[in-house]
Structure 1
Amino acid sequence: MSSGNSPARSLPLTYAGLVLTPLFWAGNAVVARGTVDSIPPLSMAFWRWVIALAILLPFAWPGIWRHRGVIRQHLGSMLMLATFSVGAFNSLLYVAAVTTTATNIALINATIPIFVSLLAWIILGDRTRPIQALGIGLAIFGILTVVARGDLSVLTGLEAQPGDLIMVAAVFSWGLFSVLLRRQAVPLPGFTFLSTQILLGTLVILPFYLGDLLFFSGGFKLTRETALPLAYFAIFPGILAYSFWNYAVHSIGPSRAAIFIYLTPVFASILAGIFLGESLGLFHIIGGAFILAGLLLATRAGRQVPDYSKLSR
């Protein structure tokens, strides 16, 4: 990398990008919640990635072609990784938006580092210190508080909002992707890896999208009101957030960058209050406090924070 005074000059840009990234991720939940009645969830997921792919592919194709041998050799692993990340994560998030709030989506989404730590312990055998286990426990309690809306009978009576449970499945899917990415690392440059994952993930979504289009939702009408959210999904939480996050991770490291993930539910609650009329309940505050405490203990107590720079969310 270049030396001289460029790193110092780039720090304001780095931190600006780190503030914008969780803002764009929060916007992903808020815009999805606000438009899910106009655009079916699977249509959101499919066309988000088609648009992103149309923007990226002209620049990415030379790298994909140059590394086609590596891609062919690791195609099975890459297809599995694409299924859990591009294919499942945002598809489930958009399905969750049908029956839960943007605030809940963002709070549950913020627990991704917890699921990564938990699955790394289960699948990879990573050692978990007692304080990290305590952090995982606190964060899970926070998730249950949000899902139960502060009422234990919601859990005991199996009355949780389907969207909250679907969002937990989405976060689990991303955690599984992150852990498998460590175990089945693919030797590709970051941009080539991202573009190939989007291409494969879009193909994974395609049959589900077609089934939904033909037999269930019937799709949507392309108007200014539906085109703008799709463009937002592709460009802001997709391409721009990935670019900002990747730049920041390389500039200041994943551990320092990861702190900014905690801004996502803050931004989401503000945006959801302004644009969707959502209000914070006491259970959001209590659950969010437990989630934040758990995240701080689990991710700052000796284990390196996972590097999320491989793929945008």
Structure 2
Amino acid sequence: MRPAHKGLPRRGAWPPLHNRPMPAASRLSPRAIGIGAAVVTVLVWTAFIVIARASAAHSLTPFDIAFTRIFGAGLVLVPWGAWHVAQARRRDPTQGSLFGLSPLALRITAVTGIFGGLGYPLLAYTGFFYAPATHASVLMPGSLPLWTALLAAAVLHDRLTPMRLFGLAMIVLGDLLVGGASLLRAFDGGELWKGDLMFMGAAFSWACYSVVVRREGLDAVRATIAVTAFAFLAFVPAYALLAGLGWVASRLGSAPWGEIAFQLLFQGVSSVVVAGITFTRMIEYFGPVRTTMITALVPGLSALGAVLFLDEPLYWNLVAGVVLVTVGILFGVQRMRTGGVGAAVAARG
């Protein structure tokens, strides 16, 4: 029997390969995942505002763009949801809902689908046909933390600290600087106020979705699949039928195929599949209020993009609104309680 080499373990002493711990560098921490999700979300949201406003100047109607968003996302997420539910039903036949397309219970699927899958895009896309992207850059990401903080305080019993209240006051002031002028001209025949109200309504709808996600402790992928499955079944067949009968105005039949393909990819895949999962992942780690406040970069970046790419004017009130909203969001982030982060991570574990 040959002696073992000095300093080396005996044969069989090494643990099996699949039981060895992974190197620390190869595992992403929850913090790294949360920050990465935040970066992706901010970039996609910024592009969403600029591209949605540019799309309003082309051949599609707001509901046409919503159709491409929901249909494009459905092409990816509906089959994924069916597979996910089929796997879950092997263990528990009661899992899933919505004809086996949603991995969540029917009530949660409907609530998240109404707010996140239908309310947000329909209000937002319609708003872009009345108001410019510079208004959307302030009013949508700006009023989102306002609505989310108020809803979280009412539903989740989140505490509104003095620092957070100061930040929210800055956001309200910024919103008034941008949207207040258009509301004052509502009776003069202008239509900017319609878009501004729809932008704030879209933010409220997404805030409702955010709070439901946190209250129910929903997984990012499952929540995004459920939202898309509900919107796909509720909107796509109905809109296709109404448009085919000529009961609603649609330009999908006459629009260039290249434009439709682009909308399917960006509005559907990027804005829903990618940003939907990353945004919900942010909620899991940061909580709903802190997540919406991390979007502090979106107002400034999207307003700058509107000026550079859409040649929109940047008046003093818009600049002041962007600054106030950004400052308000940043103040809200500074003094958030860390307990929410730990609770989110614990819920995932």
Matched, 1:133 2:165: yes
Map 1:1-313 → 2, pairs under 5 A: 3-7=23-27, 18-36=38-56, 37-67=58-88, 69-72=94-97, 74-111=105-142, 112-149=144-181, 153-154=184-185, 161-185=193-217, 189-206=219-236, 209-210=239-240, 213=243, 214-220=246-252, 221-223=254-256, 224-243=258-277, 253-254=285-286, 261-303=295-337
What is the deviation of 1:235? 2.2
When structure 1 is superposed on structure 2, of 173-182 and 18-27 the one drifting more is: 18-27
- CA distance in 2 between counterparts of 1:82 and 1:210 reads 19
What is the deviation of 1:274? 2.7
Contact 1:64 1:192 in 2 (8 A): no
What is the deviation of 1:280? 1.5
The TM-score, its normalising length taken from structure 2, stands at: 0.73
- Taking a change above 3 Å as real, the CA distance of residues 201 and 57 of structure 1, as seen in their structure-2 partners, is closer
What is the deviation of 1:212? 6.4
The TM-score, its normalising length taken from structure 1, stands at: 0.81
When structure 1 is superposed on structure 2, of 294-303 and 6-15 the one drifting more is: 6-15
Identity of paired residues, percent?
22
- CA distance in 2 between counterparts of 1:304 and 1:170 reads 28
Letter paired with 1:183: R
- Taking a change above 3 Å as real, the CA distance of residues 222 and 3 of structure 1, as seen in their structure-2 partners, is farther
What is the deviation of 1:227? 2.5
Structure 1 gap segments, 5+ residues each: none
Of structures 1 and 2, the one with the larger relative CO (CA 8 A, separation 6+) is: 1
Cα displacement string for residues 165-215 of structure 1 (whole angstroms, at most 9, x for unaligned residues): 1110110111112223333445xx432332122111223334763586332
- CA distance in 1 between counterparts of 2:275 and 2:176 reads 29
When structure 1 is superposed on structure 2, of 4-13 and 47-56 the one drifting more is: 4-13
Cα displacement string for residues 267-302 of structure 1 (whole angstroms, at most 9, x for unaligned residues): 312322232111221111111122122212334323
- CA distance in 2 between counterparts of 1:105 and 1:13 reads 28
CA-based RMSD: 3.5
Contact 2:59 2:251 in 1 (8 A): no
What is the deviation of 1:17? 6.3
- CA distance in 2 between counterparts of 1:163 and 1:305 reads 37
What is the deviation of 1:15? 6.3
- CA distance in 2 between counterparts of 1:61 and 1:281 reads 49
What is the deviation of 1:226? 3.3
Contact 1:51 1:234 in 2 (8 A): yes
Q: Secondary structure at the match of 1:182?
A: helix
- CA distance in 2 between counterparts of 1:215 and 1:272 reads 34
- CA distance in 2 between counterparts of 1:164 and 1:137 reads 19
Cα displacement string for residues 77-103 of structure 1 (whole angstroms, at most 9, x for unaligned residues): 220111001111011110100011112
What is the deviation of 1:43? 1.6
Cα displacement string for residues 125-148 of structure 1 (whole angstroms, at most 9, x for unaligned residues): 332223322222221121111112
Structure 2 gap segments, 5+ residues each: 1-20, 98-103, 345-349
What is the aligned length?
A: 303
